Structure formats: structure tokens, C-alpha cells
């Protein structure tokens, strides 16, 4: 009885205007309209990257995908479908050269990862905190990225081949080896040093820009709690720039298979097989083919093999970073 009395009271109050009338229908329509707007915004937002992927990757490379399964007879113009290109390219390169290229490619990637990223983060933190000389360092580190690669290689080659040996001879009376000669065993490490050096400025610029977006109030709160120096970098700065860092780490997996570590700039088409990478081999193979369509199917098959390795490896690295990476919380 009491419940019925309360319902009757609420009904009479609603009719007299004391309570607002039921508006569930209008709320539902407003919510539905809002959801449609959100969906339209999401579609518009995702349309560009999806279109870019479809055009710049799928459409551009669809002929290469198909070519990996074709045998093109240049003389007769007859094309047949086959799987033999995958075996032929392995035989053509040889397992020994494949092993060398794989080792060089992975080693170059690991060294760039272990050396370039930590140093890039530390220098970026130095610039971000506006320490003495930070503007000068930013300009100097970024300078190799805006000068022509051929100019930089020419300067570096002259330095290690002429200036540095003369300096060592005059100062120590010792002979300095030709570090760009593969026979000396220093060529690969010299090229890696150069690659790290010229790529340093770009990573520093990206990391320092990411750090500059950190909320100053958050940093001030950390200082009040006693976090300064390395503690601020480790517990505040690094977790907040980790999304930028993770992008570099994930996309760097593809560099294992496409990075030629400036070998063409140094050696042209004559780089010794002992220092070649996957990226250099593919670049030179396509360049030497010079329109020979009979060669392209084997190279396309090799590209598919490397892609089949790169995709799961990239997804695995992404999973590791999402699971074990630092949290902004």
C-alpha cells in the first residue's frame, strides 16, 4: 500500500509539473545521434591511413606479389605460374652468403639499437632540461641529417683514409690501417660507426620533442617528492616518451631487412660479400637487373621470404613492448 501511495504521489507531481516528464526517448535519440557522429569521425580519421596502406603498399606491390610465383621467359614472352623461384633464389645466393647477410643485418640492427637509442635518449634529456650548450649540441647533432649523404660520406672517407692516418703517424709514429678496406677487418665496424653518427640527430630531435610535451606541473610535483636527475629521467621522462620510443623500436624491425647501412654510398656496387646486408643485396640486385624481367621473379620471391619473417617478428616485438614496457601511471 505504501509503495502504491508513493507511485501515485510521484505521478501526480509529474502531472503538476513538480517533476520533469519522462524523457527516455529523447535521451536515446540524442545518444544514438552522438554515436553516429563518433562513428563518422572515426571512419574519417581511419580512412587516410587505410587508403595510404592500400595504395602505397598493396596496390604498389601487388605486381611483385604475383611476380614471385611467375616464371617469365623473356625470349618468348610466355609467363607460367610456379613455386620454384623461392628455391632458385636461395640457390643463387647460397646458404653461406645468406648466413653472412643475416648476421651483418642483425648485428647492424642490434648495434644501432643498443648504442643509438640509449645515447639518443640521454642527449635528448640533456637538451630537454636546457643544460649548458644544449642548443649548440642540438644543431651539431642534427647537421649530418640535412647535409647530402654523398657529401658526408666523402668528408668521412677523406678523414679516415687521409687525415686520421697522417695525424696518427705524426703524433705516435704509428701506421693507421685503411679501415674502409674489408681485408683489414675494420670496414663493417667503420660503416656502422658512420651510420650511427649520421642517424643520431634525427632520433635526438624526435625524443627531445616528445620530452618537451611533458606537463611541467607533473615534473614540479616529482621534484617536490624528491625526484631529481636520474630518478626523474627513469620514473617520469622515460615512461612518458615510451610511446615515441616504442614506435622506433617496432619500425626498426623492418630495418633488419632493408637497411643497407650506407654501403652503396661508400662502395657503390663493389661492396665485399663479407660486409653486405639484406638491404644492400636487394638494392644492387634490382639495380643490376636493369629491366631484365626474367630476374625480377626471383627477387620478388626473396622479398616475400623476408616479409614472412619480418611480420611475425614485428608483431612479437610489439607484444613485448605492450606487455613489459613502462606505464605512464
**pLDDT exceeds cutoff 90 at 286:** no
pLDDT tens digits along 19-49? 455 455 565 556 566 677 777 777 888 888 8
pLDDT tens digits along 118-170? 888 888 888 888 888 777 877 777 777 777 778 888 889 999 988 888 888 88
Q: Which long-range contacts (CB under 8 A, 24 or more apart) does 316-323 make?
A: 317/249, 317/250, 317/253, 318/246, 318/250, 321/246, 321/249, 321/250
| DSSP-H helix ranges across the chain | 2-16, 24-53, 60-67, 84-93, 95-111, 117-128, 134-146, 149-158, 164-172, 187-212, 216-224, 230-232, 238-258, 263-267, 278-289, 296-324
**pLDDT exceeds cutoff 50 at 1:** no
Residues listed for the chain: 329
Average pLDDT, the chain: 82
Task: Give the bridge partners for 73, in sequence order.
Answer: 78
Q: Please report the sign of the dihedral spanned by the C-alpha atoms of residue 228, residue 115, residue 284, residue 54.
A: negative
Q: Which residue has the cell 644501432?
A: 112
pLDDT tens digits along 92-102? 888 889 999 99
Q: What domains lie within the chain, and their CATH numbers?
A: 86-324 (1.10.3720.10)
φ, ψ dihedrals at 180, nearest 5°: -95, 0
Average pLDDT estimate for 264-271: 90
Amino acid at each position: 500500500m505504501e509503495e502504491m501511495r508513493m507511485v501515485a504521489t510521484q505521478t501526480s507531481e509529474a502531472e503538476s509539473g513538480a517533476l520533469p516528464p519522462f524523457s527516455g526517448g529523447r535521451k536515446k535519440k540524442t545518444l544514438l545521434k552522438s554515436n553516429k557522429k563518433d562513428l563518422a569521425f572515426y571512419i574519417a580519421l581511419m580512412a587516410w591511413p587505410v587508403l595510404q596502406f592500400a595504395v602505397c603498399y598493396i596496390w604498389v606491390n601487388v605486381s611483385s606479389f604475383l611476380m614471385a610465383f611467375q616464371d617469365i621467359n623473356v625470349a618468348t614472352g610466355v609467363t607460367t605460374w610456379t613455386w620454384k623461384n623461392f628455391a632458385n633464389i636461395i640457390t643463387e645466393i647460397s646458404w653461406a652468403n645468406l648466413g653472412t647477410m643475416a648476421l651483418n643485418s642483425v648485428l647492424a640492427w642490434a648495434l644501432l639499437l643498443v648504442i643509438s637509442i640509449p645515447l639518443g635518449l640521454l642527449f635528448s634529456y640533456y637538451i630537454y632540461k636546457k643544460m649548458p650548450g644544449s642548443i649548440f649540441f642540438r644543431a651539431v647533432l642534427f647537421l649530418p641529417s640535412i647535409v647530402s649523404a654523398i657529401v658526408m660520406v666523402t668528408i668521412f672517407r677523406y678523414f679516415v683514409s687521409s687525415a686520421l692516418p697522417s695525424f696518427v703517424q705524426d703524433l705516435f709514429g704509428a701506421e693507421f690501417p685503411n679501415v674502409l678496406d674489408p681485408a683489414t677487418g675494420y670496414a663493417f665496424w667503420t660503416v656502422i660507426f658512420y651510420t650511427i653518427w649520421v642517424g643520431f640527430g634525427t632520433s635526438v630531435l624526435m625524443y627531445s620533442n616528445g620530452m618537451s610535451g611533458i606537463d611541467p606541473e607533473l615534473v614540479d610535483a616529482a621534484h617536490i617528492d624528491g625526484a631529481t636527475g636520474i630518478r626523474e629521467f627513469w620514473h617520469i621522462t622515460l615512461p612518458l616518451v615510451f610511446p615515441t620510443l616504442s614506435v622506433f623500436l617496432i619500425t626498426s624491425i623492418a630495418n633488419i631487412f632493408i637497411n643497407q647501412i650506407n654501403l652503396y654510398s661508400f662502395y657503390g656496387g663493389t661492396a665485399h660479400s663479407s660486409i653486405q646486408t639484406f638491404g644492400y643485396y636487394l638494392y644492387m640486385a634490382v639495380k643490376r637487373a636493369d629491366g631484365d624481367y626474367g630476374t625480377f621473379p626471383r627477387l620478388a620471391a626473396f622479398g616475400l621470404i623476408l616479409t614472412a619473417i619480418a611480420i611475425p617478428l614485428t608483431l612479437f616485438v610489439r607484444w613485448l613492448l605492450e606487455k613489459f614496457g613502462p606505464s605512464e601511471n
